[in-house]
């Protein structure tokens, strides 16, 4: 039991653990203290001073996020002096902020706007003194992300998050004084700065200063084009997170309502990306067994996370031969939509508009990679994040909570439980092990490999399959990826198969998922609750092994096995190459 101290907050006595900050002590007692720059465990610098409180009657206010409690401490969190001080700081921040809330990506979920409303800030400094906005920088060269410094409040949360989660520190403060702005080092554009597009900076930003490259307008145009058939694919994790955009608790399965909302938006067909998650597992498992039996390059690395692919190509290209050649489920689905499915629907591929709903901003860039299309057409025309889909549904005034659940139609909507768990860290590995063990042993094999589940940065396990010990690892988050690859250079341990994910927790915590405000991040285990949805879907599934999906079997019989080896490979497989940051 930690030692406790007795303190008073607003004249009321509390016993709180020694070592707590005033902010943590107050919030655990349900006492609200405003905060903006503070992100627990990531950015605790006390820059914004919005959490200022009065300590022991001292005339100088102290930041609650940096002040440690002591025995007998007396704290005042709310009086006229504090209110005036916090209001003034908000006024100063507002005077330099470009307000266009009606079109901002954070219009429904802006921590800064919440505080401005709470303190009734009317931007008086700008009105009275004619303050002008500082020079802004719009960094929009990337297909995935945009930095708009006109909305930046220089809190530093994104800078710390980039270093904390990836270890590569792409973002930093440029210049000094009144012209300071956040962006990549050396004034480079995002597409040349070594960014892996994990999106952790977006999720850490309290405003809309960093956001995904929004494609909602392109979707709206396509849906109204009578010449286009809009076919949408939806990633496994979206059904576990989309509900948060409409007030559902974290960890709510809204699969049926999600499909209903897409049809309400006017899409013509829905292809569940879970289908091609099954296909990816079959192809990846076959590739692994080929390497395993014929002295191929091992360990084999999974290739479905584009953030991870970016990391490898930029920072450890010497390991590219270890990478599976399989395209991600998104790109396999895009390729099949404009070939196999186009034939089924008797459509010309050029008349199909292929839309992908993804948990990941890196998927936007993946769709534009070389080799992700044919005959001058991209396999995936646009990618919308979970947040963009939520915004689109709200702007169309669709009553999401009262929608009658629906299911997608057709073979490409069929999937297994193995595909569902693709969205959680370790899910790709577990799904692959189910199929690999069955292919090797040709008998009923285990369904669950729980050792690879969870959110630890590096997880390892060994399994005996057909009398052979197979060593596997699951690695998640840029920082852990770097640590593992450095370890792999020197260790004598033999690994056979490694799953890598650019985001801790996998896709359910992807950079395109609903943003949880900083003050609520620790209220619930976000990764655990979202993952639970996918594992529940798996446990209730009739078929739980990808290679047993009858729709996948038909796909091979009707189409894939009839292709030439070249066409087969170009449809489902790709290549990767070394890239350099700051190369322009």
Strand spans (E) along 194-298: 210-212, 229-234, 269-272
pLDDT for 54: 97
List the end-to-end C-alpha distance of the chain, in Å, as a whole number: 56
Which strands form 138-139's sheet, in the order they lie side by side?
Answer: 138-139, 145-148, 210-212
Residue 334 corresponds to which tokens in the numbers above?
A: 């895009």
pLDDT for 410: 67
Dihedral angle over CA of 462, 464, 465, 467, nearest 10: 140
Distance CA 206, CA 35 (A): 10
Residue 574's Cβ-side half-sphere holds a number of Cα atoms within 13 Å equal to 26
pLDDT for 582: 72
The pairs formed by 368-375 with CB atoms below 8 angstroms and a separation of 24 or more are: 368/143, 369/574, 371/570, 371/574, 371/575, 372/327, 372/331, 372/334, 372/574, 373/334, 374/335, 374/338, 374/570, 375/349
Block mean pLDDT (10 aa), the chain, length 584: 91 96 95 95 92 94 96 96 94 89 91 94 59 74 93 95 94 88 84 94 96 96 97 97 97 96 96 95 96 95 96 97 98 97 95 98 96 92 98 96 87 82 95 91 77 93 89 96 97 96 96 95 94 95 93 95 95 94 66
- Answer yes or no: CATH 2.60.40.420 is held by domain 138-214: no
Dihedral angle over CA of 525, 530, 531, 536, nearest 10: 120
CATH number of 217-572: 3.40.50.1780
Strand spans (E) along 104-144: 138-139
- Residue spans of the domains in the chain: they are 4-78, 138-214, 217-572
Distance CA 337, CA 355 (A): 10
pTM, rounded to two decimals: 0.94
pLDDT for 367: 97
**b/e per residue 84-96 (b: at least 16 CB within 10 A):** ebbbebbbebbbb
Of 457, 447, 398, nearest in space to 425 by CA: 457
**What's the DSSP call for residue 349?**
G
CB-CB contact of 210 with 512 (8 Å)? no
Residue appearing with tokens 């006492």? 31
Residue 427 corresponds to which tokens in the numbers above?
A: 């899910």
CATH class as words, domain 4-78:
alpha beta
Dihedral angle over CA of 373, 379, 385, 391, nearest 10: 130
Burial of 209 (0-12, 13-18, 19+ CB in 10 A): buried
pLDDT for 124: 59
């Amino acid at each position: 039991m930690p030692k406790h101290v007795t303190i008073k907050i607003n004249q009321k006595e509390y016993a709180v653990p020694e070592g707590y900050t005033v902010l943590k002590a107050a919030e655990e007692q349900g006492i609200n203290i405003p905060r903006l720059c503070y992100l627990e465990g990531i950015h605790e610098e006390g820059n914004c001073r919005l959490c200022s409180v009065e300590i022991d009657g001292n005339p100088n206010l102290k930041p609650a996020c940096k002040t440690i409690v002591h025995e007998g401490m007396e704290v005042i969190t709310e009086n006229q002096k504090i209110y005036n001080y916090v209001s003034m700081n908000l006024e100063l921040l507002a005077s330099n902020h470009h307000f266009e809330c009606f079109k901002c990506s954070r219009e429904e979920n802006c921590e800064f706007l919440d505080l401005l409303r709470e303190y009734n800030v009317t931007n008086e400094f700008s009105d009275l003194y004619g303050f002008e906005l500082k020079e802004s920088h719009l960094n929009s060269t990337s297909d995935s992300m945009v930095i708009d410094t006109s909305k930046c409040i220089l809190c530093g949360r994104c800078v710390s998050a980039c270093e904390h989660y990836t270890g590569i520190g792409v973002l930093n403060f440029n210049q000094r004084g009144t012209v300071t702005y956040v962006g990549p080092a050396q004034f480079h554009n995002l597409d040349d700065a070594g960014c892996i597009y994990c999106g952790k900076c977006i999720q850490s930003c309290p405003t809309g200063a960093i956001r995904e490259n929004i494609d909602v307008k392109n979707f709206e145009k396509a849906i109204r084009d009578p010449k286009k058939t809009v076919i949408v694919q939806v990633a496994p994790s979206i059904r576990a997170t989309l509900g948060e955009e409409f007030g559902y608790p974290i960890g709510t399965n809204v699969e049926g309502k999600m499909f209903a909302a897409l049809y309400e938006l006017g899409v013509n067909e829905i292809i569940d990306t879970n289908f091609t998650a099954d296909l990816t597992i079959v192809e990846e498992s076959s590739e692994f067994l080929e390497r395993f039996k014929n002295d191929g390059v091992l360990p084999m690395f999974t290739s479905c996370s584009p953030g991870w692919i970016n990391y490898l190509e930029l920072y450890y290209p010497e390991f590219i031969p270890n990478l599976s050649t399989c395209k991600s489920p998104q790109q396999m689905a895009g390729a099949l939509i404009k070939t196999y499915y186009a034939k089924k629907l008797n459509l010309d591929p050029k008349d199909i508009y292929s839309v992908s709903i993804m948990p990941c901003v890196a998927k936007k860039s993946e769709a534009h990679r070389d080799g992700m299309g044919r005959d001058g057409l991209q396999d995936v025309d646009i990618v919308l994040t979970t947040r963009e889909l939520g915004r689109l549904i709200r702007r169309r005034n669709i009553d999401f909570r009262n929608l009658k659940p629906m299911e997608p139609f057709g073979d490409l909507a069929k999937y297994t439980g193995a595909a569902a768990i693709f969205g959680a860290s370790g899910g790709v590995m577990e799904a692959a092990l189910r199929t690999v063990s069955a292919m090797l042993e040709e008998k009923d094999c285990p369904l669950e490999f729980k050792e690879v589940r969870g959110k630890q940065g590096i997880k390892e396990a060994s399994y005996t399959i057909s009398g052979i010990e197979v060593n596997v690892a699951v690695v998640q988050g840029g920082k852990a990826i770097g640590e593992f690859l450095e370890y792999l250079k020197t260790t004598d341990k033999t690994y056979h198969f490694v799953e890598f994910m650019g985001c801790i927790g996998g896709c359910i915590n992807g950079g395109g998922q609903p943003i949880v405000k900083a003050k609520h991040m620790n209220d619930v285990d976000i990764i655990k609750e979202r993952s639970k949805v996918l594992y529940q879907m798996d446990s209730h599934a009739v078929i739980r092994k990808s290679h047993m999906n009858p729709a996948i079997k038909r796909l091979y019989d009707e189409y894939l096995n009839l292709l030439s080896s070249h066409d087969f490979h170009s449809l489902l497989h790709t290549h990767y190459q070394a890239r350099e940051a700051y190369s322009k």
